[in-house]
């Protein structure tokens, strides 16, 4: 039976297109699940694979504005990719990736990004590992700060409705300086960060939204759940910090002190933290975090010159990079990259790499020298790797505090 891949034509078609990936979460999507996707995805950004009228695969992309070093860029945030186990390994993913990347190119969104369920899947479609992040599991007995300081801040628990304005204001201050963060609309805040439906608690309690203010101005916040449990009358529960953000170093210190001090639990857990998180220096015993590192965002340059024009490039002599890109051939060839951007050239190449390498360095999470050490970049002329690193300065570890 032939498989047909097509963009959705109406919002009603989006929920069925989510069914293949929901299968792997052990669920069938219900309208409540749709609230996390449908308002943000115009139908033509969602693709479904049909066989005989039945959906067997699907994927979609969010239109994001993502912070990059020195600016922001329009990004297609790929999500909800799935192919039913009845139809796996017949090339449906490959065909969906073709349709989706052509669509992103057509929309003139220079970059695509995603979180990968498995790190083996997306390299072949030109995505490079662009950030690493980590999970922590800190015993309460090891939460002391190296340099304790009294907090001047005020803390207040907020309802879902109260949280929207001050939390979004703090987030906005931070995200404009933090590569990897994406702009959030009010509906995104409500449906994806602040809403607290039962089926999203995963064994935890209610969602808590705490606001920190300094001198009367919102300066930080935390979203967290308490996972309470007892053994022989003694708590063995933990706090799960979903998102803790401070707009200043003082606010970052105070909001973490707050979540680390919550009583009647034995551990504090958090996920998706950037590898340069201040906790490494705030805590007296950072080793106790047991910071476990894994891949974070994956980035694909869809339109190479437009993507490079959107981020800051350093003041350094140009490099000519010969880029291989089998899946999006319009990017392939030799590019002269300078502080002004990228332009096509016939000059001899200084570096050779494939498009995944440029995705890896794009947000500043990796350097050309790291890729060269792993054989992902070949230096044709001595000094070219160092020059390329000077052209792609990092502003610290990229951080995207949410999986989309």
From the list 13, 54, 90, 196, which residue makes contact with ligand COA (rule: CB under 6 A)? 90
Q: Which is nearer to ligand COA, 7 or 121 (CB)?
A: 121
Q: Which of 9, 27, 88, 186 binds ligand COA (CB under 6 A)?
A: 88
Window 307 to 336, contacts with ligand COA (CB under 6 A)? none
Catalytic residue among 37, 221, 224, 404: 404
CA distances for 160 relative to 31, 167, 195, 217, 223, angstroms:
21, 11, 7, 19, 11
99 lines the binding site for ligand COA (CB under 6 A): no
Give the nearest distance from C-beta 79 to ligand COA in angstroms. Answer: 8
Residue whose CB is less far from ligand COA, 90 or 285: 90
Segment contacting ligand COA by CB under 6 A, of 88-96, 188-196, 323-331, 390-398:
88-96
- What is the Cα–Cα distance from 33 to 202, expressed in whole angstroms? 15
Q: Which of residues 114-173 bind ligand COA (CB under 6 A)?
A: 116-118, 120-121, 124
What is the pairing mode between strands 46-51 and 3-7? antiparallel
For residue 104, CA distances in Å to 46, 78, 107, 271, 373 come to 11, 10, 5, 30, 32
Is the Cβ–Cβ distance between 286 and 276 less than 8 Å? no
Residue 402's Cβ-side half-sphere holds a number of Cα atoms within 13 Å equal to 21
Contacts 24+ apart (CB under 8 A), 157-162: 157/208, 157/209, 157/210, 157/211, 158/209, 158/210, 158/211, 159/209, 160/190, 160/194, 160/195, 160/196, 160/207, 160/209, 162/209
Q: How many helices and strands (H and E) does the chain possess?
A: 11, 21
State yes or no: residue 294 binds ligand COA (CB under 6 A): no
Binders of ligand COA in range 360-379 (CB under 6 A): none
Stretch that binds ligand COA, among 39-47, 78-86, 130-138, 329-337 (CB under 6 A): 78-86
Please give the size of the binding site for ligand COA, defined by CB under 6 A: 18
Q: Is 392 a catalytic residue?
A: no
Under the binding rule (CB under 6 A), the answer on residue 287 touching ligand COA is: no
Shortest Cβ 30–ligand COA spacing (Å):
19
Helical segments of 283-398, H only? 304-310, 355-362, 368-373, 384-391
Minimum CB separation of residue 19 from ligand COA in Å reads 11
Question: Of 40, 64, 122, 221, which residue is the catalytic one?
Answer: 122
Using CB under 6 A as the binding rule, the residues of this chain from 11 to 40 that contact ligand COA are 21, 24
CA distances from 257 to 140, 146, 165 (A): 12, 12, 23
Is residue 268 at the binding interface for ligand COA, with CB under 6 A as the rule? Answer: no
Q: Is 122 a catalytic residue?
A: yes
Minimal distance in Å, beta carbon 137 to ligand COA? 24
Separation between Cα atoms, residue 265 and residue 179, nearest integer Å: 33
| Pick 100 or 360: Cβ nearer ligand COA | 100
What whole-number distance in Å separates Cα of residue 106 and Cα of residue 110?
A: 10
Verify binding: residue 380, ligand COA, rule CB under 6 A.
no
d(CA 289, CA 4): 48
| 58, 69, 82, 365: which one binds ligand COA (CB under 6 A) | 82
Could you tell me which residues are beta bridge partners of residue 293?
A: 134
Q: In the complex, which residues of this chain contact ligand COA (CB under 6 A)? A: 21, 24, 81-83, 88-94, 116-118, 120-121, 124
* Catalytically active residues, by annotation: 122, 404
């Amino acid at each position: 039976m032939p498989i047909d891949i097509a963009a959705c034509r109406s919002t009603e078609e989006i929920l069925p297109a989510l069914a293949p990936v929901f299968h792997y979460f052990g669920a069938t999507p219900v309208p409540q699940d749709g609230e996390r996707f449908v308002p943000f995805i115009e139908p033509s950004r969602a693709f479904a694979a049909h066989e005989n009228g039945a959906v067997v695969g699907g994927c979609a992309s969010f239109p994001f504005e993502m912070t990059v070093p020195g600016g922001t860029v329009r990004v297609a945030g790929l999500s909800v990719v799935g192919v039913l186990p009845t139809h796996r390994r017949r090339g449906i993913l490959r065909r969906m990736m073709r349709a989706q990347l052509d669509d992103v190119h057509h929309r003139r969104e220079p970059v695509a990004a995603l979180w990968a369920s498995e790190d083996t899947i997306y390299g072949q479609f030109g995505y490079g590992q662009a950030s690493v992040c980590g999970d922590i599991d800190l015993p309460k007995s090891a939460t002391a700060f190296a340099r304790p300081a009294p907090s001047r801040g005020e803390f207040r628990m907020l309802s879902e409705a109260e949280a929207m304005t001050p939390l979004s204001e703090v987030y906005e201050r931070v995200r404009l300086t933090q590569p990897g963060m994406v702009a959030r609309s009010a509906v995104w805040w409500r449906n994806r960060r602040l809403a607290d439906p039962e089926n999203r608690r995963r064994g935890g309690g209610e969602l808590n939204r705490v606001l920190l203010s300094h001198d009367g101005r919102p300066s930080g916040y935390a979203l967290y759940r308490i996972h309470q449990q007892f053994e022989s009358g003694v708590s063995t529960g933990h706090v799960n910090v979903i998102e803790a953000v401070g707009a200043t170093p003082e606010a970052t210190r105070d909001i973490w002190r707050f979540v680390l001090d919550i009583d009647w639990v034995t551990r504090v857990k958090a996920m998706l933290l950037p590898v340069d998180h201040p906790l490494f220096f705030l805590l007296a015993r950072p080793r106790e975090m047991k910071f476990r590192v894994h891949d974070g965002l994956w980035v694909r340059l869809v339109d190479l010159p437009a993507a490079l024009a959107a981020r800051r490039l350093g003041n350094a002599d140009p490099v000519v990079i010969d880029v291989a890109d089998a899946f999006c051939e319009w990017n392939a060839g030799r590019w002269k990259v300078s502080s002004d951007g990228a332009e096509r050239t016939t000059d001899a190449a200084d570096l050779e790499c494939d498009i995944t390498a440029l995705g890896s360095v794009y947000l500043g999470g990796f350097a050309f020298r790291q890729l060269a050490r792993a054989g992902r970049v070949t230096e044709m002329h001595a000094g070219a790797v160092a020059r390329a690193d000077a052209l792609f300065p990092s502003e610290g570890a990229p951080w995207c505090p949410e999986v989309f």
